[in-house]
Amino acid sequence: MSNIVYQDLVFDEDAILNLYLNNEWYAYTNKKEQLFSGIKNSLDVIAAYDKSLLVGLIRTIGDANTIVYIQDILVLKEYQRQGIGRTFMKMIIEKYPNVRQVCLMTDESERSRKFYESLGLEDYSKQNTVGYIVKK
């Protein structure tokens, strides 16, 4: 594994777009200005770098007291399964030990489920709760 450095994101539009495009998150890249504004207004944006290459990021939104919502977690495909996503998640969970709700929404896949459950996260249904989203 490379020597990955975790730090605050150095805002670079091209590097950010490359990361989102690499993960095929076109709903974000089709609205670049909205994406950049969202990143700039996030609670946290922690990046992973291999030398100067942006290889991943995690960003959160929320009030940092009652809720922290993990909005995005991305890792370049060629860097996945090297512990970067796990490190990101642990960093956020450890940063907010007294926040009652640290949550996220993700795609319904066995891979995602196993990843998040391995970090101690539970499906909403196991907390006797349900999530809703405005239909667009």
Asked whether the beta carbons of 48 and 15 are under 8 A apart, the reply is: no
pLDDT recorded at residue 42: 98
At residue 2 the predicted structure's pLDDT band, cuts being 50, 70 and 90, is low
Report yes or no on 70 lying in a domain: yes
Whether the predicted pLDDT of 1 surpasses 60 = no
What's the start-to-end Cα distance of the chain, in Å? 41
Whether the predicted pLDDT of 128 surpasses 70 = yes
- What is the total residue count of the chain? 136
Report yes or no on 114 lying in a domain: no
> Considering its fold, how many domains does the chain have in total?
1
Q: Residue 80: is it exposed, middle or buried by C-beta count within 10 angstroms (0-12/13-18/19+)? A: middle
Report yes or no on 55 lying in a domain: yes
| Tokens linked to 89 | 């998640």
pLDDT recorded at residue 120: 86
Report yes or no on 117 lying in a domain: no
Structural domain range at position 20: 4-105
Asked whether the beta carbons of 16 and 55 are under 8 A apart, the reply is: no
Alpha helices in 3-108 (DSSP H): 13-22, 26-29, 32-40, 84-95
Give the domain CATH number at 27. Answer: 3.40.630.30
Whether the predicted pLDDT of 50 surpasses 70 = yes
- Chain centroid to Cα 78, Å, comes to 17
pLDDT recorded at residue 31: 96
